[in-house]
């Protein structure tokens, strides 16, 4: 399926009015079924859908390791993935249990329980970054953002080991772009602990949680983090860098390593 | 609750390295309960949370009119809203029914059923826009984006009637910012048909669906639309404008009105 599509538009610039073809980013409604049950429809770019569904089911806690997946049947015509699991995921079960406790207690939400459970994921030894490599990687990363340059409509995500780009993906959703990177890394059995994730998008708590769950030590963004992302990254000793643009960057966590 | 928070960061610019305070946008985990049941945790900016929960439950089809809401109990300390409904929403019931049909049939997803059900929402008479007003509104809109200017971390959404700004909201999520606008309009019983929504964010199908469900005739973005948003807007005769920046703008739908 094409990643962009031409549309006839009217382009206005001051008094000039031109009817012309314009390239627009394609959005697909991609539906995931697990063991025959419809789980979710993800609105995404029709690219790396296998990576997306693998990354998604890991991020959501449906599976813990690649061996938990018995089979993935990807149907690109109907934009569906039918996934069979070896057994129901333990993680998911414990989430469900936590949820019912939270509801009966009436105080803590599912989300705050999730935060609690993350606290065990602290990075043992924070990775001390070479900031020149971070800046160099961001320049490389920007150069690769092809769909964005064409359409202005997508986010990118990249996985780097030192100054080497291992995986690069784009998607209309910044969460999807990250799930695709994670999915590819899982499929290729790439160890993530010493890797660096670059993103074009803002770093919210949800992005940080995906990073933490996979034990990734560093997240680098072109854009801004939220306070909740900073709090979590501090708690877990994850390197969080933002507004990385040319010679500029902000370091939000593990400050003692860079003073 | 404050909307921004100060963090100590290290700011790098070339060879300069400064330890300083930086303003970061606050993200709250806001949990909505309906009739005692935990429905969702929305990660959002802690501002206009009543608007957010009202907009959200309308957008998701839990309620159809303001009278369907018996009571909203907003707890700003714990960031929760407990909503009591007059009765279970008809819309939600029909969604559930559609879902089970889709799953047994194994073909159409919940999402494609939603698209089908939207087709009845076609705008009867497309609103012909004065493009000078659109440009003027976008300039006004940009000037109001206070949180973004401080933190670089939020999206804005505005509701305009001709050149008058009626509602303006910001949020770390572009969906939330739109839900807040819709929530405020519903609470104030503002008729939406002849209004214009401005957004800083990209226009995906989800954004377009929220617009269509409320019968809003015009959506204007600083940024890009996806093809699915264009297709839906064409089908429903909604005005969709993108990349509105200074004297420039793109018109994606109802082209015959502007030729």
Interface predicted TM-score (ipTM) of this complex, two decimals: 0.85
Distance CA B46, CA A149 (A): 34
Confirm if B249 and B134 have CB atoms less than 8 A apart. yes
What is the band of A109 on the pLDDT scale with cuts at 50, 70, 90? Answer: low
pLDDT at residue A94, as a whole number: 46
Q: What is the DSSP letter of B152?
A: S
Our CA-based measurement puts residue A231 at a distance from the nearest CA of chain B, in whole angstroms, of 10
Chain-centre distance for alpha carbon A115: 18
pTM for this predicted structure: 0.87
What is the band of B121 on the pLDDT scale with cuts at 50, 70, 90? Answer: confident
pLDDT tens-place string over residues A141-166: 999 987 777 777 889 999 999 999 99
What is the band of A55 on the pLDDT scale with cuts at 50, 70, 90? Answer: very high
pLDDT at residue A120, as a whole number: 67
pLDDT at residue A152, as a whole number: 79
- Please list every residue in chain B whose beta carbon sits closer than 8 Å to the beta carbon of residue A227: 5, 7, 24-27
Report the pLDDT averaged over residues B141-150. Answer: 83
State yes or no: pLDDT of A93 exceeds 60: no
Q: Which residue has the tokens 């979710």?
A: A40
State yes or no: pLDDT of A92 exceeds 70: no
Chain A residue with minimum CA distance to B16: A248
Mutate which: B39, B44, B111, B209, vs A, most A CBs within 10 A: B111
Q: What percent of chain B has pLDDT over 70?
A: 90
State yes or no: pLDDT of A121 exceeds 60: yes
pLDDT tens-place string over residues A202-231: 999 999 999 999 999 999 999 999 999 999
What's the token pair of residue B146?
């206070």
Closest-CA residue to B6 (of A235, A199, A252, A35): A252
pLDDT at residue A126, as a whole number: 83
Distance CA B226, CA A23 (A): 10
Task: Determine phi and psi for A218, rounding to 5 degrees.
Answer: -145, 130
Mutate which: A4, A6, A9, A177, vs B, most B CBs within 10 A: A9
Determine whether the interchain pair A41/B226 forms a contact, defined as Cβ–Cβ distance below 8 Å.
Answer: no
Chain-centre distance for alpha carbon A107: 29
Distance CA B179, CA A252 (A): 30
What is the band of B57 on the pLDDT scale with cuts at 50, 70, 90? Answer: very high
State yes or no: pLDDT of A167 exceeds 80: yes
State yes or no: pLDDT of A96 exceeds 90: no
What's the token pair of residue B199?
């957004």
Closest-CA residue to B174 (of B151, B205, B207, B216): B207
Angle at CA of residue B244, ends B241 and B248, nearest 5°: 110
pLDDT tens-place string over residues B176-205: 999 999 999 999 999 998 999 999 999 999
State yes or no: pLDDT of B50 exceeds 90: yes
Distance CA A202, CA A56 (A): 19
Closest-CA residue to B232 (of B203, B251, B208): B208
Which of A82-96, A239-253, B216-230 is the least confident region? A82-96
Helix (H) or strand (E) holding B210: helix B205-213
Distance CA A99, CA A102 (A): 5
pLDDT tens-place string over residues A23-41: 999 999 999 999 998 888 9
Confirm if A137 and A160 have CB atoms less than 8 A apart. yes
């Amino acid at each position: 399926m094409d990643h962009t599509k031409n549309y006839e538009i009217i382009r206005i610039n001051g008094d000039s009015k031109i009817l012309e073809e314009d390239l627009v980013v394609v959005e697909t409604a991609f539906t995931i079924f697990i063991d025959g049950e419809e789980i979710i429809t993800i609105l995404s770019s029709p690219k790396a859908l296998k990576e997306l569904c693998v990354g998604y089911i890991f991020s959501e806690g449906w599976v813990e390791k690649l061996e938990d997946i018995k089979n993935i049947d990807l149907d690109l015509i109907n934009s569906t993935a039918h996934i069979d699991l070896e057994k129901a995921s333990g993680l998911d079960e414990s989430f469900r249990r936590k949820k019912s406790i939270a509801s009966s207690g009436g105080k803590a939400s599912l989300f705050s329980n999730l935060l609690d459970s993350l606290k065990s994921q602290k990075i043992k030894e924070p990775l001390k970054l070479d900031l020149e490599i971070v800046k160099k990687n961001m320049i490389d990363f920007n150069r690769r953002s092809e769909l964005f340059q064409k359409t202005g409509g997508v986010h990118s995500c990249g996985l780097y080991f030192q100054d080497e780009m291992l995986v690069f993906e784009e998607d209309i959703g910044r969460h999807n772009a990250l799930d695709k990177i994670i999915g590819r890394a899982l499929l290729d059995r790439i160890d993530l602990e010493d890797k660096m994730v670059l993103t074009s998008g803002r770093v919210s708590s949800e992005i940080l949680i995906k990073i933490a769950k996979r034990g990734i030590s560093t997240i680098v963004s072109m854009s801004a983090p939220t306070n909740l992302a900073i709090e979590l990254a501090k708690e877990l000793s994850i390197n969080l860098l933002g507004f990385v643009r040319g010679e500029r960057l902000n370091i939000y966590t593990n400050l003692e390593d860079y003073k």
